[in-house]
Structure 1
Amino acid sequence: MNLLKINKINKKVKGSIQITGSKSETNRLLILQQFYQNLKIENSSNSDDSRLMQKALATTSNEINIGHAGTAMRFLTAYFSVKENAEIILTGSHRMKNRPIKILVDALVTLGANIQYLEKEGYPPLKILGEKLVKYFVEINGNVSSQYISALLLIAPTLKKGLQLKFKGEVTSVPYIKMTLQLLAELGVEYSWENNIISIQPKPKIKDKTITVESDWSSASYFYSLCALSPNSEIKLASYTKNSLQGDSVLAVIYKDLGVGTRFEENSLVLRNNNTLTLKSLNVNLISAPDIAQTIAVTCFGLGIECFLSGLHTLKIKETDRLVALKNEIEKLGGEVVITDETLHLKASTKIKEDISIATYDDHRMAMAFAPLATRVSIQIENANVVSKSYPTFWEDFKKMTC
């Protein structure tokens, strides 16, 4: 599917779907399952990223190409560093070779890891020689990607003395770090987080354990947007819990201001457009949930309201520079966007250009974030299959709601 044309949606949006398990939770659990073979995972994500992770962990090859999967690159770098006698070359797409990994590599090397850069200093591909790490203390900046931190935390229980991780400066993306810690705790791993130090105790064995992965909140964001842009709509999404580990569950609070009510019903979310939108401008700091920035910006554009989003410094090193990509595509549609290295300011606009072709930049979230604009105008999505990275059945689910 190279170009998907979506005609303007002229009906009330209503329906019920089951969303795939959280990619973030699944990928963490897949790493932990390598250390604890008696861990069983249910409702795993069917995303490309999680399938790539599973394939990489099962391979007998000494060269692994993880494509665009940034989480896999970071988690596998740490995992293979502690897999004794492993000799692995870890590489990826052209974009991946330009996504920095030096912060994580430096931390692992401090712990005793044997990692070499094969091309550009500080970037993949990497050559990793796995061995037992005997050191247990490392410092890392608190404002780096949470995936670097989680990569270290996931291997911590396997280290002889566990791990002491000291943060320098303010810690960002706290929910993703807490997710990792809470999954460790579910396995019986003891930890503490006091002031700027996380301490993880070693845990060589666990009892038989089954963990059911909650459905993905990032994926739910596109249906929050669809609901916000469709008067009188009602959407039911399974399977979700009120006390979620996922930072993106803040959607329920943010979209209340955008006219969408959230009700928890057994193991599902019920979203309803209450036709109560009076907001003229939305101002949100997304430092703890940057993955929903694209969705929120497009929702506000569709509603014709101004928004100011901050805390977005990590978006520049994702699958694409998401701030630049958002600016480019919203302005093609007739909007006006001002960006800095960590903020996005969308000015209020009442007119949206018809039948514009949206570039997706090999970024799954660009495709899904712009789809709900079809409630306003006909739109075209380039390289629509890119959604498989996190949500392979997105277009089928979108069609169920809108046709």
Structure 2
Amino acid sequence: MKLHISSPENQQIQKSIQITGSKSETNRLLLLQALFPSLKIENLSNSDDAQVMQKGLQVTVGEVDIHHAGTAMRFLTSYFACQEGKEVLLTGSHRMKERPISVLVDALRSLGAEIEYAENEGYPPLKISGKKISASKVSLPANISSQYISSLCLVAPSLENGLEIELVGKITSVPYIKMTLALLTEVGIVNSFEGNSINVSSISEVKPSTLVVESDWSAASYFYSVVALADLGTEIELASYKQNSLQGDSVLAEIYKKLGVKTTFDNNAIRLQKAQVVEMESLNLDLSNAPDIAQTIAVTCLGLGIGCKLTGLHTLPIKETDRLAAMKTELEKFGATVEIDKESLTLIIPTLSNDEVAVDTYHDHRMAMAFAPLAMKTSFYVNDSGVVSKSYPDFWTDFESLGFQITEA
């Protein structure tokens, strides 16, 4: 569906919104619940990815199609590899079959897992025959997607002898690894992360408990962007969030201070206020630990008329699309000049074009949502707007509630 989006009539917005549970936390807890059924979960994400993960965990034999869900692909690969007697073909969309997974497969094979590539070497789909795994040591590169590492950490407590993971090189996306380990601790699983070594102990069962998923900080980024681009006095309250969040994207509160947004924590909510006009010329950030918010920040800078250099983005080319290439193409439609390399994006101080362009989304939910706040400054079209359901099905409804004028084209 193609949507036309333009700014609210009143650019001093006052609104409260309940955000869906974190996709990252939800998928981790769903896997732990499959291993330890005594766990209960509340405030699950209503995203496509979470639903795909739930369905996949229920399969014992046959095909498991995770569509575009990269997290599910990585987590389910480890899950099925150590489920004795389960035989599945783990597959996904055309794009998923282009996303490498050999690092994780090699690590699991070194532990004794039985995994074959059904089509192209190094890529899904995967034919997995679950086995009892007794080996307890594995090493893998540290500068890869943290989801590979989290995937191994999550199944580790169900292995006969637990798991010691040695990370070789400089570690990236540390907050996501720490999130995984903190959730293990929360359910009573002993673990440690010292230097480049992670240890997770084996456990046969955990105490029954109910875990509440925090709302998604990545989703909050789009409202930070709206507030940054809105008039002074704008205030948006979002629930439910923790000041001591496990999510790496909670760094938003600090980053957006520089972009004029004040964050106040109040019980289980955050209040975002447009506190000042931004006067800087350019913003430089290393987003190694929070690459998923790079698109939002780049669009915010475009709307504010400031440049930016965002580094630490080496995982973005292997996401739902090549996000660096896609961002260059779409930002330049609005008159920006953009330079990219394998791990960075530089936005030259832009002059925003007011032509009503059409933003392509490349089957990538974050492309649609990152550009949406730019409607505070100029109206435009969004192609294939339904991709937001991957992580945030209520996105357009929530944006409309802020006063944005959204019509089907």
Q: 2:6 is matched with which residue? A: 7
Q: Does 1:317 align with 2:341?
A: no
Q: 2:169 is matched with which residue? A: 169
Shift of 1:61: 5.0
Q: Deviations over 1:330-371 (max 9, x none)?
A: 101111100000000001113323311000000000000000
Give matches, 1:170-185, under 5 Å: 170-185=170-185
Q: Residue 112 of structure 1 contacts residue 133 of structure 1 at CA under 8 Å; is this kept in 2?
A: yes
- Could you tell me how far apart the structure 2 residues matched to 1:267 and 1:354 are? 41
Q: 2:207 is matched with which residue? A: 207
Shift of 1:275: 2.5
CA 1:160/1:61 → structure 2, altered by over 3 Å: closer, same or farther?
A: closer
- Residue 259 of structure 2 aligns to a residue in which SS? coil
Q: 1:38 is matched with which residue? A: 38
- Could you tell me how far apart the structure 2 residues matched to 1:187 and 1:372 are? 38
Shift of 1:8: 3.3
Amino acid in structure 2 at the alignment position of 1:118: A
- Structure 1 unaligned runs (5+)? none
- Could you tell me how far apart the structure 1 residues matched to 2:57 and 2:136 are? 25
User: What TM-score, normalized to structure 2?
Assistant: 0.97
Give matches, 1:372-387, under 5 Å: 372-387=373-388
Q: Does 1:63 align with 2:63?
A: yes
Q: Residue 298 of structure 1 contacts residue 370 of structure 1 at CA under 8 Å; is this kept in 2?
A: yes
Q: Residue 61 of structure 2 contacts residue 86 of structure 2 at CA under 8 Å; is this kept in 1?
A: no
* Matched positions, count: 402
Q: Residue 14 of structure 1 contacts residue 402 of structure 1 at CA under 8 Å; is this kept in 2?
A: no
Q: 2:243 is matched with which residue? A: 242
Q: 2:407 is matched with which residue? A: none
Q: Residue 22 of structure 1 contacts residue 216 of structure 1 at CA under 8 Å; is this kept in 2?
A: yes
Q: Residue 338 of structure 2 contacts residue 347 of structure 2 at CA under 8 Å; is this kept in 1?
A: yes
Q: Deviations over 1:72-96 (max 9, x none)?
A: 0000000000111001000001100
Amino acid in structure 2 at the alignment position of 1:3: K
Q: Which moved more, 1:366-375 or 1:271-280?
A: 271-280
Q: Residue 231 of structure 1 contacts residue 275 of structure 1 at CA under 8 Å; is this kept in 2?
A: no
Shift of 1:119: 0.6
Q: Residue 60 of structure 2 contacts residue 88 of structure 2 at CA under 8 Å; is this kept in 1?
A: no
Q: Residue 97 of structure 1 contacts residue 124 of structure 1 at CA under 8 Å; is this kept in 2?
A: yes
Q: Residue 8 of structure 1 contacts residue 379 of structure 1 at CA under 8 Å; is this kept in 2?
A: no
Q: 1:298 is matched with which residue? A: 299
Cα RMSD (Å): 0.9
Shift of 1:59: 3.2
- Could you tell me how far apart the structure 2 residues matched to 1:193 and 1:5 are? 48
- Could you tell me how far apart the structure 2 residues matched to 1:252 and 1:125 are? 39
Shift of 1:265: 0.9
Runs of 4 or more above 3 Å deviation: none
- Residue 373 of structure 2 aligns to a residue in which SS? helix
Q: 2:343 is matched with which residue? A: 342
- Could you tell me how far apart the structure 1 residues matched to 2:207 and 2:397 are? 39
- Could you tell me how far apart the structure 2 residues matched to 1:56 and 1:39 are? 18
- Residue 313 of structure 1 aligns to a residue in which SS? coil
Q: Residue 67 of structure 1 contacts residue 96 of structure 1 at CA under 8 Å; is this kept in 2?
A: yes
Q: Residue 42 of structure 1 contacts residue 213 of structure 1 at CA under 8 Å; is this kept in 2?
A: yes
Amino acid in structure 2 at the alignment position of 1:342: E
Identity of aligned residues (%): 57
Q: Does 1:103 align with 2:107?
A: no
- Residue 388 of structure 1 aligns to a residue in which SS? helix
- Could you tell me how far apart the structure 2 residues matched to 1:253 and 1:285 are? 13
Amino acid in structure 1 at the alignment position of 2:187: L
- Could you tell me how far apart the structure 2 residues matched to 1:295 and 1:200 are? 35
Q: Residue 8 of structure 2 contacts residue 402 of structure 2 at CA under 8 Å; is this kept in 1?
A: no
- Could you tell me how far apart the structure 2 residues matched to 1:343 and 1:271 are? 28
Shift of 1:60: 5.1
Q: Residue 10 of structure 1 contacts residue 375 of structure 1 at CA under 8 Å; is this kept in 2?
A: no
Amino acid in structure 2 at the alignment position of 1:55: K
Q: Does 1:77 align with 2:77?
A: yes
Q: 1:88 is matched with which residue? A: 88
- Structure 2 unaligned runs (5+)? 405-409
Amino acid in structure 1 at the alignment position of 2:399: F
- Could you tell me how far apart the structure 1 residues matched to 2:115 and 2:97 are? 16
Q: Residue 335 of structure 2 contacts residue 351 of structure 2 at CA under 8 Å; is this kept in 1?
A: no
Amino acid in structure 1 at the alignment position of 2:91: T
Shift of 1:278: 1.8
- Could you tell me how far apart the structure 2 residues matched to 1:202 and 1:238 are? 35
- Could you tell me how far apart the structure 1 residues matched to 2:194 and 2:344 are? 30
CA 1:220/1:350 → structure 2, altered by over 3 Å: closer, same or farther?
A: same
Amino acid in structure 1 at the alignment position of 2:240: S
Q: Deviations over 1:128-175 (max 9, x none)?
A: 000100101000111000000000000000111100000111110000
Q: 1:26 is matched with which residue? A: 26
- Could you tell me how far apart the structure 1 residues matched to 2:110 and 2:81 are? 12
Q: Residue 188 of structure 1 contacts residue 206 of structure 1 at CA under 8 Å; is this kept in 2?
A: yes
Q: Residue 61 of structure 2 contacts residue 87 of structure 2 at CA under 8 Å; is this kept in 1?
A: no
Q: Residue 60 of structure 2 contacts residue 87 of structure 2 at CA under 8 Å; is this kept in 1?
A: no
Q: Does 1:127 align with 2:127?
A: yes
Shift of 1:7: 2.3
Amino acid in structure 1 at the alignment position of 2:20: T
- Could you tell me how far apart the structure 1 residues matched to 2:261 and 2:355 are? 25
